[in-house]
Structures are given as structure tokens and as C-alpha cells.
Amino acid sequence: MINKVKGSEDFESTNFLIFLHQWRKPLIYITIAAFVASVIFSSPFFITPMFKSSVIMFPTSSNSISKSLLSETSAENQDILQFGEDEQTEQMLQMLSSNKIRDRIIDKYKLMEHYEINPASKYKHTKLYNTYEDNITFRRTEYMAVKITVIDKDPKIAALIANDIAELLDSTKNSMQKERALKAYRIVETEYLKLKSEVQQMEDSLTRLRELGVHDYESQAEMINQQLAIELARGNKSGVKALEDKLNVLAKYGGPYVSLRDALEYEKKQLSVVKSKFDESKIDAEEVLPQKFIVNSAYEAERKSYPVRWIIVLISTLSAFVLGVIILGVLDSLSGYNKKKRLMST
């Protein structure tokens, strides 16, 4: 039985070779025609060559300049020299896909005209955005970096767009953060100026009390009472009168002096805390730092990335050959079947 199966396989292989030999000329013509057609239709006259440029960059780990540079309690993940991790990478990808960056690129490079989209079309913006998303992609690499890839019929435009998108990331993210940072700065500034004014008023009041003779209530009262006892023992009436006048001043203004002094000490501590917040918020509102580390910048490609003509030609030629074998096989089977039918009828 094994020999019978082997004989059947050999017979089928022999039949297939005989079939190929029998139909060799049509198969050769079909294969050559497919080869020529694929060479012609994969040429730049029919398929526009596309060039690719890429930018690879890492996000930064910290968003706040003040916390990274000034804060004494800054954590390790706020180091301005440290690369970002998953969270920052996802934020960067979302930012790159924002319509703020997309619209600025579309306006700068006139992509409606560049992509040859009819401005009178009913769905012109849909076509424009779909083409933009097809030609400009963002993805995370295996090393947690972000890769911007741009394909375009003009290699110079592809490189310029890729580099511009990377640059726009900074301005877009900074503008979004600045809006919030400025509001925070105004709030802290108002509080700081208010507290500073209150402290100044307290200091002015203490100055006035010192002019009236109250410099340090506790020590003054102790010293005057000691001196008063001495003058009473001596019977120095003028000295006693002078000391009593001073005690009357202390009695009148001592209480307000102590209250102001203690309140001023507390307010100065608060002012110091608010001042540090004010300085930090001012830096965040006025200064900027790059939001990325560029690993590879885009450059003008010298060779097209699409289409790969040899792949198109190879697949088209092989497909035509296989399809030709199938069609000719079906025709040959039908022809044999019709012959058998005619023989049986006779």
C-alpha cells in the first residue's frame, strides 16, 4: 500500500511537470507580461515615491523648574537631567497627537495644497486629517523613547516637518503650563504683597512705640522696677517721679507692644514661607526649560522608502504565475472532461 501511495505521488508530480511543459509558452507569456506590467506600474509615473525622516527623543522627568532647581525637598524624579519614564512618555505621545501641533504644521507647510486636496471638497478637512495621520506617526520605542516618523513625497519637507514637530512639543507644552503657572503666580503674588504690607505696618507701629519709649517691655519693666526700689530707698523724689513716668508709659503701651511684637514674629515666618513660594512661582511663570532630550534629529533622506519596487515586481510576477497555473489547470481539466464526455457519448 505504501508503494501504491508513493507511486500515486510520483504520478501526480509527473503529471504536474507534464502540465507545466505543455503550457510553458502561455505561462512564460503571462509571467513576462506580469513582470513588465509590475515594473511599469510601480514606476514613479504611477506610484509617487515617498521619503521617510524620523526624530527620536526622550521626555524629561520634571516639569517644574523651581522644584528641580530651588526646592530643598525636591525628589530624585524631579532632577532636570533625568530621563522620563512611562508616564512622561505617554504624556509626550498625547501631546504630539494634539490638534495644536497638527494645526500649526498644517498651516506652516500648507498641507492642504501639498497633499493635493481639493479645497472645495465637502470633506476636505477629513481627508486632510486622515492623510496627516497616515503620513505622520508617533510611537513609543522599546527603550521608552518617542519616535516621530514622517513620510512625504519631498524628502526635505519630511525632515523639516519631523524636526518642527519635535520643536513644537516644547512651545506647546510650555504654553499650556505657563497658563496655569501665571495664574498660580498671580495668586501667590497677591498674598505675598498683602502679607508684606501687613508686616510693614506692624514694623511702623513698633517704631512709633519705640519712639514713645517702649523698646523691650519685659527687660525695661524689670530694670525700672529695680531702679525704682533703689531710688525709693535713697529718698530721691525726682528720680522716683521720672521712673514712675516711665512705668506709666510702659503700662499704657506695653500691652500693644508685646502683642505687635509677637504677631510680627509670626507674620515674618509666614512671610518667609510665602516669599519662597512667590520666588518659585515667578520662576515657573517666567522661565522655560526644554521638555525633551533629542537623541536623533531628522535629516533629508537620500533614498525613497516607498514603494520598494523589487518586492512589488517579485510578488506581482509570482502571483501572476500561480494564477496562470490555476486558470490553465482549470481550463485543462475542463477540456479533458469534455473529451471524456464526447467519447462516452459515442
Q: CATH number of the domain that 116 lies in?
A: 3.30.70.1130
Query: Side chain identity at 139, as an amino acid letter?
Result: R
Q: Give pLDDT tens digits for 277-290.
A: 888 888 888 777 77
Do 64 and 168 lie in one domain? The reply is yes
Number of domains in the chain: 2
Question: pLDDT tens across 42-91, in order?
Answer: 666 666 788 999 999 998 876 666 665 555 555 554 566 676 677 888 88
Q: ω into residue 307 within 30 of 0, thus cis?
A: yes
Residues found in the chain: 346
Same domain, 153 and 292: yes
Burial class (CB in 10 A: 0-12, 13-18, 19+), 188: buried
Which of 78-87, 106-115, 123-132, 191-200 shows the lowest mean pLDDT across its residues? 78-87
For the segment 26-31, the average pLDDT, to the nearest whole number, is: 84
pLDDT value at 340 more than 70: no
CB 180 within 8 A of CB 227: no
Mean pLDDT value across residues 180-184? 86
The residue range of the domain holding 105 is 51-184+288-296
Q: So what's the pLDDT on residue 8? A: 43
C-alpha cell at 62: 520634571
Q: What is the pLDDT of residue 138?
A: 95
Q: Are residues 152 and 292 in the same domain?
A: yes
